[in-house]
Structure 1
Amino acid sequence: MRRWITMLVFGCILTSGALAQDGRLKRLDTGDDAKAWEAVGRLDINGKGFCTGALIAPKLVLTAAHCMFDSDTGEHIGKGHIEFLAGWRNGRAGAYRNISRVVVHPEYIYDESLSSERVRNDLALLELDQPIRNNSIRPFKTTSRPRTGDRVGVVSYALDRAEAPSLQEVCSVLARQDGVLVTSCAVDFGSSGAPIFVIENGEAQIVSVVSAKAEVRGEQVSLGTALGQPLAELQAELVAGRAVYMGAKRGERRIRVGDEKSDTGAKFVRP
Protein backbone atom coordinates (compact mmCIF):
# COMPACT_ATOMS: atom_id res chain seq x y z
CA MET A 1 0.00 0.00 0.00
CA ARG A 2 2.94 2.33 0.52
CA ARG A 3 3.67 1.83 -3.19
CA TRP A 4 0.04 2.69 -4.07
CA ILE A 5 0.27 6.01 -2.23
CA THR A 6 3.66 6.84 -3.77
CA MET A 7 2.58 6.09 -7.33
CA LEU A 8 -0.67 8.01 -6.96
CA VAL A 9 1.07 11.12 -5.64
CA PHE A 10 3.83 10.82 -8.25
CA GLY A 11 1.26 10.76 -11.04
CA CYS A 12 -0.54 13.80 -9.65
CA ILE A 13 2.62 15.88 -9.58
CA LEU A 14 3.54 14.96 -13.14
CA THR A 15 0.15 15.97 -14.50
CA SER A 16 -0.76 18.99 -12.37
CA GLY A 17 0.54 22.53 -12.42
CA ALA A 18 -1.39 23.43 -9.29
CA LEU A 19 1.60 23.43 -6.96
CA ALA A 20 3.11 26.51 -8.57
CA GLN A 21 -0.16 28.43 -8.08
CA ASP A 22 -0.69 27.67 -4.40
CA GLY A 23 -1.03 30.48 -1.90
CA ARG A 24 1.57 30.92 0.81
CA LEU A 25 0.98 30.32 4.49
CA LYS A 26 -0.30 33.38 6.34
CA ARG A 27 0.14 33.48 10.10
CA LEU A 28 -3.10 34.55 11.82
CA ASP A 29 -1.61 36.76 14.52
CA THR A 30 -4.37 39.34 14.94
CA GLY A 31 -8.02 39.12 15.86
CA ASP A 32 -9.03 40.47 12.46
CA ASP A 33 -6.93 37.89 10.61
CA ALA A 34 -8.25 35.01 12.72
CA LYS A 35 -11.88 36.14 12.92
CA ALA A 36 -13.34 33.46 10.63
CA TRP A 37 -11.13 30.69 12.03
CA GLU A 38 -11.61 30.85 15.82
CA ALA A 39 -13.19 27.37 15.83
CA VAL A 40 -9.85 25.89 14.77
CA GLY A 41 -7.79 25.15 17.86
CA ARG A 42 -4.70 23.48 19.24
CA LEU A 43 -5.10 20.13 20.98
CA ASP A 44 -2.53 19.85 23.77
CA ILE A 45 -1.88 16.20 24.51
CA ASN A 46 -0.44 15.21 27.89
CA GLY A 47 1.76 18.32 27.90
CA LYS A 48 4.09 16.62 25.40
CA GLY A 49 2.76 17.29 21.93
CA PHE A 50 -0.09 18.78 20.02
CA CYS A 51 -2.34 18.32 17.04
CA THR A 52 -4.83 20.60 15.33
CA GLY A 53 -8.59 20.19 15.69
CA ALA A 54 -11.76 21.97 14.60
CA LEU A 55 -15.10 22.47 16.30
CA ILE A 56 -17.96 20.92 14.27
CA ALA A 57 -20.63 21.17 17.01
CA PRO A 58 -20.74 23.07 20.32
CA LYS A 59 -19.35 20.01 22.10
CA LEU A 60 -17.48 18.11 19.34
CA VAL A 61 -13.99 18.51 17.87
CA LEU A 62 -12.87 16.72 14.71
CA THR A 63 -9.23 15.64 14.39
CA ALA A 64 -7.04 12.75 13.19
CA ALA A 65 -7.29 9.37 14.91
CA HIS A 66 -3.52 8.90 15.13
CA CYS A 67 -3.33 11.89 17.47
CA MET A 68 -5.04 9.69 20.06
CA PHE A 69 -2.16 7.19 20.21
CA ASP A 70 1.22 7.34 21.92
CA SER A 71 3.83 7.52 19.17
CA ASP A 72 6.36 5.59 21.29
CA THR A 73 4.20 2.71 22.48
CA GLY A 74 1.44 2.65 19.88
CA GLU A 75 -1.12 2.47 22.69
CA HIS A 76 -4.29 4.57 22.93
CA ILE A 77 -3.62 7.46 25.29
CA GLY A 78 -6.56 6.26 27.41
CA LYS A 79 -6.69 8.16 30.69
CA GLY A 80 -4.34 10.88 29.51
CA HIS A 81 -5.18 14.55 29.39
CA ILE A 82 -6.20 16.50 26.30
CA GLU A 83 -7.19 20.16 26.20
CA PHE A 84 -8.77 22.01 23.27
CA LEU A 85 -7.57 25.61 22.98
CA ALA A 86 -10.04 27.22 20.57
CA GLY A 87 -8.45 29.99 18.53
CA TRP A 88 -5.15 29.71 20.43
CA ARG A 89 -3.06 32.72 19.50
CA ASN A 90 0.03 34.18 21.20
CA GLY A 91 -0.63 32.73 24.64
CA ARG A 92 -4.40 33.08 24.80
CA ALA A 93 -7.41 31.12 23.57
CA GLY A 94 -10.99 32.11 22.91
CA ALA A 95 -12.11 29.10 24.96
CA TYR A 96 -10.40 26.38 27.00
CA ARG A 97 -12.04 22.97 27.27
CA ASN A 98 -10.94 19.58 28.55
CA ILE A 99 -11.76 16.50 26.50
CA SER A 100 -14.10 14.13 28.31
CA ARG A 101 -14.58 11.37 25.70
CA VAL A 102 -12.73 10.21 22.59
CA VAL A 103 -13.91 7.93 19.81
CA VAL A 104 -11.72 6.86 16.88
CA HIS A 105 -13.00 5.35 13.64
CA PRO A 106 -13.78 1.66 14.28
CA GLU A 107 -11.68 0.53 11.31
CA TYR A 108 -8.63 2.64 12.12
CA ILE A 109 -5.51 0.70 13.11
CA TYR A 110 -2.50 2.57 14.46
CA ASP A 111 0.83 1.42 13.03
CA GLU A 112 3.87 2.97 11.40
CA SER A 113 3.06 2.03 7.80
CA LEU A 114 1.48 4.49 5.41
CA SER A 115 -1.44 2.92 3.59
CA SER A 116 -4.71 3.92 2.00
CA GLU A 117 -6.61 1.99 4.71
CA ARG A 118 -4.86 3.91 7.46
CA VAL A 119 -5.36 7.34 5.90
CA ARG A 120 -8.99 6.95 4.88
CA ASN A 121 -10.02 5.96 8.43
CA ASP A 122 -7.78 8.45 10.25
CA LEU A 123 -10.60 10.30 12.01
CA ALA A 124 -11.49 10.92 15.65
CA LEU A 125 -14.24 12.82 17.44
CA LEU A 126 -13.50 14.43 20.78
CA GLU A 127 -16.28 15.40 23.16
CA LEU A 128 -15.68 18.50 25.29
CA ASP A 129 -16.47 18.56 28.99
CA GLN A 130 -18.59 21.67 28.37
CA PRO A 131 -20.01 23.04 25.11
CA ILE A 132 -18.53 26.17 23.56
CA ARG A 133 -21.29 28.72 23.04
CA ASN A 134 -19.64 31.88 21.84
CA ASN A 135 -20.69 34.02 18.91
CA SER A 136 -17.08 34.42 17.84
CA ILE A 137 -16.38 30.66 17.90
CA ARG A 138 -18.85 29.08 15.52
CA PRO A 139 -18.66 25.38 14.63
CA PHE A 140 -17.87 24.54 11.02
CA LYS A 141 -20.15 22.57 8.76
CA THR A 142 -18.78 19.50 7.00
CA THR A 143 -19.32 18.23 3.46
CA SER A 144 -18.18 15.24 1.41
CA ARG A 145 -16.81 17.29 -1.47
CA PRO A 146 -14.41 18.18 -3.19
CA ARG A 147 -13.33 16.76 -6.56
CA THR A 148 -9.94 16.51 -8.19
CA GLY A 149 -8.81 19.96 -9.31
CA ASP A 150 -10.94 21.86 -6.81
CA ARG A 151 -9.40 24.66 -4.76
CA VAL A 152 -9.20 24.10 -1.02
CA GLY A 153 -7.50 25.71 1.98
CA VAL A 154 -6.09 24.60 5.32
CA VAL A 155 -5.72 26.17 8.76
CA SER A 156 -3.18 24.52 11.04
CA TYR A 157 -0.69 24.77 13.86
CA ALA A 158 2.77 23.22 13.46
CA LEU A 159 5.96 22.70 15.40
CA ASP A 160 7.56 25.93 14.15
CA ARG A 161 4.30 27.91 14.42
CA ALA A 162 2.73 26.52 17.56
CA GLU A 163 1.64 29.84 19.03
CA ALA A 164 -0.70 30.96 16.26
CA PRO A 165 -2.50 29.18 13.44
CA SER A 166 -1.54 29.68 9.81
CA LEU A 167 -3.86 29.82 6.83
CA GLN A 168 -3.07 28.58 3.35
CA GLU A 169 -6.04 29.97 1.51
CA VAL A 170 -5.33 28.39 -1.86
CA CYS A 171 -4.12 24.85 -2.47
CA SER A 172 -5.49 22.13 -4.71
CA VAL A 173 -6.94 18.64 -4.68
CA LEU A 174 -4.51 16.58 -6.74
CA ALA A 175 -6.41 13.30 -6.49
CA ARG A 176 -9.18 11.51 -4.65
CA GLN A 177 -9.14 7.73 -4.59
CA ASP A 178 -10.36 5.03 -2.18
CA GLY A 179 -11.33 7.62 0.42
CA VAL A 180 -7.95 9.36 0.40
CA LEU A 181 -7.63 13.02 -0.55
CA VAL A 182 -4.24 14.09 -1.92
CA THR A 183 -3.68 17.86 -1.82
CA SER A 184 -0.93 20.37 -2.38
CA CYS A 185 -1.60 21.98 1.04
CA ALA A 186 1.48 22.73 3.17
CA VAL A 187 1.57 20.78 6.45
CA ASP A 188 4.15 19.84 9.07
CA PHE A 189 4.47 18.25 12.53
CA GLY A 190 1.48 19.37 14.63
CA SER A 191 -0.73 19.83 11.55
CA SER A 192 -2.26 16.38 12.05
CA GLY A 193 -6.03 16.71 12.25
CA ALA A 194 -6.00 20.18 10.68
CA PRO A 195 -9.20 20.97 8.78
CA ILE A 196 -9.08 21.23 4.99
CA PHE A 197 -11.81 23.52 3.67
CA VAL A 198 -13.79 24.44 0.61
CA ILE A 199 -15.62 27.77 0.46
CA GLU A 200 -19.31 27.27 -0.29
CA ASN A 201 -21.42 30.43 -0.73
CA GLY A 202 -18.83 32.41 1.20
CA GLU A 203 -18.76 29.89 4.07
CA ALA A 204 -15.85 27.60 4.96
CA GLN A 205 -16.87 23.93 5.15
CA ILE A 206 -14.59 21.06 6.17
CA VAL A 207 -13.99 18.38 3.53
CA SER A 208 -11.03 16.55 5.08
CA VAL A 209 -8.54 16.47 7.94
CA VAL A 210 -4.79 16.17 7.52
CA SER A 211 -3.51 12.65 8.12
CA ALA A 212 0.07 12.62 6.79
CA LYS A 213 2.48 14.28 4.42
CA ALA A 214 4.58 12.90 1.60
CA GLU A 215 7.43 14.18 -0.50
CA VAL A 216 7.97 13.32 -4.14
CA ARG A 217 10.90 14.78 -6.11
CA GLY A 218 11.18 17.58 -3.57
CA GLU A 219 7.50 18.52 -3.72
CA GLN A 220 5.44 18.33 -0.51
CA VAL A 221 1.89 16.97 -0.62
CA SER A 222 -0.56 16.17 2.14
CA LEU A 223 -2.81 13.15 2.55
CA GLY A 224 -6.19 13.44 4.21
CA THR A 225 -9.34 11.52 5.01
CA ALA A 226 -12.24 12.27 2.70
CA LEU A 227 -15.30 12.95 4.85
CA GLY A 228 -18.73 11.52 4.20
CA GLN A 229 -19.28 7.89 5.14
CA PRO A 230 -16.27 7.70 7.54
CA LEU A 231 -17.54 10.68 9.53
CA ALA A 232 -21.09 9.26 9.63
CA GLU A 233 -19.69 5.96 10.96
CA LEU A 234 -17.69 7.82 13.58
CA GLN A 235 -20.72 9.77 14.75
CA ALA A 236 -22.67 6.52 15.03
CA GLU A 237 -19.92 5.09 17.26
CA LEU A 238 -20.20 8.10 19.57
CA VAL A 239 -23.99 7.83 19.79
CA ALA A 240 -23.67 4.12 20.56
CA GLY A 241 -21.43 4.95 23.52
CA ARG A 242 -18.29 3.34 22.11
CA ALA A 243 -15.95 6.02 23.40
CA VAL A 244 -12.96 6.18 25.73
CA TYR A 245 -13.45 8.36 28.79
CA MET A 246 -10.54 10.63 29.60
CA GLY A 247 -9.16 11.34 33.07
CA ALA A 248 -9.17 15.16 33.13
CA LYS A 249 -10.93 16.90 35.99
CA ARG A 250 -12.45 20.36 35.76
CA GLY A 251 -10.15 22.98 37.22
CA GLU A 252 -7.14 20.66 37.23
CA ARG A 253 -3.85 22.44 36.49
CA ARG A 254 -2.41 21.35 33.17
CA ILE A 255 1.09 21.55 31.76
CA ARG A 256 0.72 22.89 28.26
CA VAL A 257 3.07 22.29 25.40
CA GLY A 258 6.00 24.67 25.82
CA ASP A 259 5.52 25.21 29.57
CA GLU A 260 8.59 23.12 30.32
CA LYS A 261 11.10 21.07 28.40
CA SER A 262 9.34 18.17 26.77
CA ASP A 263 9.04 16.25 23.54
CA THR A 264 7.00 18.67 21.46
CA GLY A 265 7.18 16.51 18.35
CA ALA A 266 3.38 16.17 18.35
CA LYS A 267 1.53 13.24 16.95
CA PHE A 268 2.29 13.43 13.28
CA VAL A 269 3.21 10.66 10.86
CA ARG A 270 6.12 11.20 8.52
CA PRO A 271 5.79 8.83 5.55
Structure 2
Amino acid sequence: MRKIYVIGIGAGDPDHLTLQAVKALNEVDVFFLLDKGTEKSDLIRLRHEILERHATGRPHRLVEARDPDRDRDRTAGGAAYAGAVDDWRGRRADLYARMITDELGDGTTEAGDGGSDTGDRSVGAFLVWGDPSLYDSTLAILEEILERGTVHFEYEVIPGISSVSALAAKHRIGLNRVARPVQITTGRRLAEGWPQDADDVVVMLDAHQSFRHHLADDPVIYWGAYVGTEDEILVSGRLSEVAGRIEELRAEARARKGWIMDTYLLRRD
Protein backbone atom coordinates (compact mmCIF):
# COMPACT_ATOMS: atom_id res chain seq x y z
CA MET A 1 0.00 0.00 0.00
CA ARG A 2 1.30 3.42 -0.90
CA LYS A 3 1.56 5.88 1.96
CA ILE A 4 1.24 9.66 1.78
CA TYR A 5 2.32 12.12 4.44
CA VAL A 6 0.60 15.50 4.54
CA ILE A 7 3.13 17.56 6.48
CA GLY A 8 2.46 21.01 7.87
CA ILE A 9 5.63 23.05 7.44
CA GLY A 10 4.64 26.22 9.27
CA ALA A 11 3.95 29.78 8.24
CA GLY A 12 7.29 30.52 6.62
CA ASP A 13 10.08 30.01 9.14
CA PRO A 14 12.02 26.75 8.55
CA ASP A 15 12.33 26.49 12.34
CA HIS A 16 8.55 26.06 12.56
CA LEU A 17 8.91 22.36 11.77
CA THR A 18 8.00 20.10 14.67
CA LEU A 19 10.08 17.08 15.66
CA GLN A 20 7.22 14.92 14.35
CA ALA A 21 7.45 16.65 10.98
CA VAL A 22 11.22 16.16 10.78
CA LYS A 23 10.80 12.47 11.58
CA ALA A 24 8.20 12.11 8.82
CA LEU A 25 10.40 13.95 6.29
CA ASN A 26 13.06 11.31 6.78
CA GLU A 27 10.66 8.47 5.94
CA VAL A 28 9.70 9.91 2.54
CA ASP A 29 10.90 8.63 -0.83
CA VAL A 30 9.18 11.18 -3.09
CA PHE A 31 8.22 14.78 -2.29
CA PHE A 32 5.48 16.32 -4.45
CA LEU A 33 5.93 20.07 -4.97
CA LEU A 34 3.50 22.39 -6.78
CA ASP A 35 4.95 25.22 -8.84
CA LYS A 36 2.76 28.31 -8.56
CA GLY A 37 4.74 30.35 -11.08
CA THR A 38 7.65 32.77 -10.90
CA GLU A 39 5.80 35.28 -8.73
CA LYS A 40 5.48 32.70 -5.95
CA SER A 41 8.86 31.04 -6.39
CA ASP A 42 9.59 31.88 -2.73
CA LEU A 43 7.15 29.14 -1.74
CA ILE A 44 9.12 26.50 -3.65
CA ARG A 45 12.44 27.90 -2.44
CA LEU A 46 11.36 27.56 1.19
CA ARG A 47 10.37 23.93 0.65
CA HIS A 48 13.76 23.19 -0.91
CA GLU A 49 15.46 24.86 2.06
CA ILE A 50 13.46 22.76 4.51
CA LEU A 51 14.33 19.54 2.70
CA GLU A 52 18.02 20.41 2.46
CA ARG A 53 18.13 21.17 6.17
CA HIS A 54 15.94 18.40 7.59
CA ALA A 55 15.41 15.55 5.07
CA THR A 56 18.86 14.01 5.41
CA GLY A 57 18.04 10.52 6.65
CA ARG A 58 17.48 8.70 3.34
CA PRO A 59 17.68 9.30 -0.42
CA HIS A 60 14.61 10.97 -1.89
CA ARG A 61 13.35 12.49 -5.11
CA LEU A 62 11.56 15.77 -5.81
CA VAL A 63 8.68 15.80 -8.28
CA GLU A 64 7.43 19.24 -9.32
CA ALA A 65 4.27 20.00 -11.28
CA ARG A 66 2.54 23.22 -12.24
CA ASP A 67 -0.42 24.03 -10.02
CA PRO A 68 -3.66 24.29 -12.06
CA ASP A 69 -4.74 27.86 -12.66
CA ARG A 70 -7.80 29.03 -10.80
CA ASP A 71 -10.60 31.04 -12.40
CA ARG A 72 -10.32 34.28 -10.41
CA ASP A 73 -13.10 35.93 -12.45
CA ARG A 74 -15.73 33.73 -10.81
CA THR A 75 -15.16 34.97 -7.27
CA ALA A 76 -18.10 37.30 -6.79
CA GLY A 77 -19.51 34.97 -4.17
CA GLY A 78 -22.22 32.38 -3.75
CA ALA A 79 -22.63 29.60 -6.30
CA ALA A 80 -20.15 31.13 -8.76
CA TYR A 81 -17.38 31.12 -6.18
CA ALA A 82 -18.20 27.59 -4.99
CA GLY A 83 -18.24 26.37 -8.58
CA ALA A 84 -14.84 27.90 -9.28
CA VAL A 85 -13.37 26.24 -6.19
CA ASP A 86 -14.91 22.85 -7.04
CA ASP A 87 -13.54 23.03 -10.59
CA TRP A 88 -10.05 23.94 -9.36
CA ARG A 89 -10.03 21.21 -6.73
CA GLY A 90 -11.14 18.65 -9.31
CA ARG A 91 -8.23 19.53 -11.60
CA ARG A 92 -5.86 19.39 -8.64
CA ALA A 93 -7.23 15.94 -7.77
CA ASP A 94 -6.52 14.79 -11.34
CA LEU A 95 -2.95 16.06 -11.03
CA TYR A 96 -2.36 14.52 -7.61
CA ALA A 97 -3.73 11.17 -8.73
CA ARG A 98 -1.38 11.09 -11.74
CA MET A 99 1.61 12.04 -9.61
CA ILE A 100 0.89 9.37 -7.00
CA THR A 101 0.29 6.70 -9.65
CA ASP A 102 3.31 7.56 -11.78
CA GLU A 103 5.86 8.31 -9.08
CA LEU A 104 5.06 5.94 -6.21
CA GLY A 105 5.36 2.19 -6.32
CA ASP A 106 2.43 0.30 -4.86
CA GLY A 107 4.67 -1.54 -2.40
CA THR A 108 4.12 -4.90 -4.04
CA THR A 109 7.33 -5.25 -6.10
CA GLU A 110 9.71 -7.80 -4.60
CA ALA A 111 13.48 -7.87 -5.07
CA GLY A 112 14.53 -9.71 -8.22
CA ASP A 113 11.07 -10.02 -9.79
CA GLY A 114 11.91 -7.70 -12.66
CA GLY A 115 9.55 -4.95 -11.53
CA SER A 116 9.97 -1.27 -12.31
CA ASP A 117 12.54 0.87 -10.54
CA THR A 118 9.75 2.59 -8.57
CA GLY A 119 8.68 -0.62 -6.85
CA ASP A 120 10.29 0.30 -3.54
CA ARG A 121 9.25 3.95 -3.60
CA SER A 122 6.03 3.70 -1.70
CA VAL A 123 6.12 6.75 0.61
CA GLY A 124 5.28 10.20 -0.73
CA ALA A 125 4.61 13.57 0.89
CA PHE A 126 2.92 16.89 0.26
CA LEU A 127 4.44 19.82 2.17
CA VAL A 128 1.59 22.09 3.24
CA TRP A 129 2.09 25.73 4.12
CA GLY A 130 0.97 26.35 7.71
CA ASP A 131 -1.28 23.58 9.03
CA PRO A 132 -3.10 21.07 6.77
CA SER A 133 -6.31 21.36 8.79
CA LEU A 134 -6.76 25.14 8.41
CA TYR A 135 -7.77 26.69 5.08
CA ASP A 136 -5.97 24.14 2.93
CA SER A 137 -7.44 21.86 0.29
CA THR A 138 -4.99 18.93 0.37
CA LEU A 139 -6.98 16.69 2.70
CA ALA A 140 -10.23 17.18 0.78
CA ILE A 141 -8.44 16.48 -2.52
CA LEU A 142 -6.89 13.24 -1.24
CA GLU A 143 -10.31 12.12 0.01
CA GLU A 144 -11.79 12.87 -3.42
CA ILE A 145 -9.10 10.72 -5.07
CA LEU A 146 -9.81 7.82 -2.70
CA GLU A 147 -13.56 8.12 -3.35
CA ARG A 148 -12.91 7.70 -7.08
CA GLY A 149 -11.44 4.29 -6.32
CA THR A 150 -8.80 4.39 -9.07
CA VAL A 151 -5.76 5.03 -6.84
CA HIS A 152 -5.24 3.39 -3.48
CA PHE A 153 -3.11 4.72 -0.63
CA GLU A 154 -3.22 5.50 3.06
CA TYR A 155 -2.28 8.90 4.41
CA GLU A 156 -1.19 10.49 7.67
CA VAL A 157 -1.47 14.15 8.66
CA ILE A 158 1.34 15.93 10.51
CA PRO A 159 0.11 19.20 12.06
CA GLY A 160 2.03 22.42 11.56
CA ILE A 161 2.19 25.95 12.96
CA SER A 162 -0.52 27.94 11.21
CA SER A 163 -0.30 31.58 10.20
CA VAL A 164 -2.95 32.23 12.86
CA SER A 165 -0.80 30.78 15.64
CA ALA A 166 2.28 32.56 14.31
CA LEU A 167 0.40 35.88 14.14
CA ALA A 168 -0.72 35.60 17.76
CA ALA A 169 2.79 34.70 18.89
CA LYS A 170 4.36 37.63 17.03
CA HIS A 171 1.89 40.09 18.57
CA ARG A 172 2.19 38.36 21.98
CA ILE A 173 -1.56 37.94 22.36
CA GLY A 174 -4.06 35.15 22.92
CA LEU A 175 -6.59 34.52 20.18
CA ASN A 176 -9.50 34.46 22.58
CA ARG A 177 -10.41 36.06 25.89
CA VAL A 178 -11.61 34.25 29.01
CA ALA A 179 -14.92 32.45 28.43
CA ARG A 180 -15.39 34.18 25.07
CA PRO A 181 -15.35 32.57 21.62
CA VAL A 182 -13.13 33.36 18.67
CA GLN A 183 -14.25 32.88 15.08
CA ILE A 184 -12.06 32.25 12.03
CA THR A 185 -13.56 33.52 8.80
CA THR A 186 -12.68 34.94 5.40
CA GLY A 187 -12.56 38.49 4.14
CA ARG A 188 -15.49 37.70 1.86
CA ARG A 189 -17.68 36.77 4.83
CA LEU A 190 -16.47 39.68 6.98
CA ALA A 191 -17.57 42.07 4.23
CA GLU A 192 -21.09 40.69 4.63
CA GLY A 193 -21.18 41.57 8.32
CA TRP A 194 -19.54 41.01 11.68
CA PRO A 195 -19.99 37.38 12.82
CA GLN A 196 -22.67 36.93 15.46
CA ASP A 197 -21.75 36.03 19.05
CA ALA A 198 -18.03 36.69 18.58
CA ASP A 199 -16.02 39.76 19.49
CA ASP A 200 -12.68 38.23 18.45
CA VAL A 201 -12.52 37.46 14.73
CA VAL A 202 -9.55 36.04 12.82
CA VAL A 203 -9.69 36.87 9.11
CA MET A 204 -7.89 34.97 6.35
CA LEU A 205 -7.89 35.16 2.57
CA ASP A 206 -8.82 38.84 2.49
CA ALA A 207 -7.81 40.30 -0.86
CA HIS A 208 -9.93 43.42 -0.46
CA GLN A 209 -9.16 44.67 3.07
CA SER A 210 -12.67 43.95 4.31
CA PHE A 211 -11.83 45.42 7.70
CA ARG A 212 -12.74 48.77 6.11
CA HIS A 213 -16.40 47.78 6.49
CA HIS A 214 -16.02 47.95 10.28
CA LEU A 215 -14.24 51.26 10.84
CA ALA A 216 -17.29 52.56 12.73
CA ASP A 217 -16.89 49.82 15.36
CA ASP A 218 -13.20 50.75 15.66
CA PRO A 219 -11.92 47.39 16.93
CA VAL A 220 -8.27 46.74 17.64
CA ILE A 221 -6.52 45.01 14.73
CA TYR A 222 -3.49 42.74 14.92
CA TRP A 223 -2.29 42.38 11.33
CA GLY A 224 0.61 40.49 9.81
CA ALA A 225 1.91 39.67 6.34
CA TYR A 226 4.50 37.03 5.39
CA VAL A 227 4.55 36.09 9.08
CA GLY A 228 7.62 34.04 9.95
CA THR A 229 9.59 35.02 6.84
CA GLU A 230 12.32 37.57 6.20
CA ASP A 231 9.66 39.84 4.63
CA GLU A 232 7.44 39.85 7.73
CA ILE A 233 5.35 42.98 8.36
CA LEU A 234 3.40 43.55 11.60
CA VAL A 235 0.95 46.33 12.51
CA SER A 236 -1.40 46.66 15.49
CA GLY A 237 -3.63 49.38 16.91
CA ARG A 238 -7.09 50.88 16.72
CA LEU A 239 -8.48 50.23 13.26
CA SER A 240 -9.33 53.91 12.73
CA GLU A 241 -5.69 54.80 13.36
CA VAL A 242 -3.84 52.10 11.39
CA ALA A 243 -6.19 51.02 8.57
CA GLY A 244 -4.63 53.42 6.08
CA ARG A 245 -1.11 52.32 6.95
CA ILE A 246 -2.02 48.66 6.56
CA GLU A 247 -3.50 49.31 3.12
CA GLU A 248 -0.37 51.18 2.01
CA LEU A 249 2.00 48.53 3.34
CA ARG A 250 -0.04 45.75 1.79
CA ALA A 251 -0.19 47.40 -1.63
CA GLU A 252 3.55 48.12 -1.62
CA ALA A 253 4.46 44.58 -0.54
CA ARG A 254 2.21 42.96 -3.12
CA ALA A 255 3.60 45.15 -5.90
CA ARG A 256 7.15 44.34 -4.85
CA LYS A 257 6.77 40.56 -4.47
CA GLY A 258 3.85 39.83 -6.80
CA TRP A 259 1.88 38.03 -4.06
CA ILE A 260 0.97 38.45 -0.42
CA MET A 261 -0.16 36.25 2.45
CA ASP A 262 -1.68 38.19 5.33
CA THR A 263 -3.84 37.38 8.34
CA TYR A 264 -5.35 39.52 11.06
CA LEU A 265 -7.34 39.46 14.28
CA LEU A 266 -10.06 42.02 14.95
CA ARG A 267 -10.85 42.48 18.63
CA ARG A 268 -14.01 44.39 19.51
CA ASP A 269 -14.58 45.90 22.93
Q: TM-score under structure 1 normalisation?
A: 0.26
**Higher relative contact order structure (alpha carbons within 8 Å, sequence separation ≥ 6):** 1
Normalized per residue, the structure richer in strand is 1
Normalized per residue, the structure richer in helix is 2
Give 1 or 2 for the bigger CA radius of gyration.
2
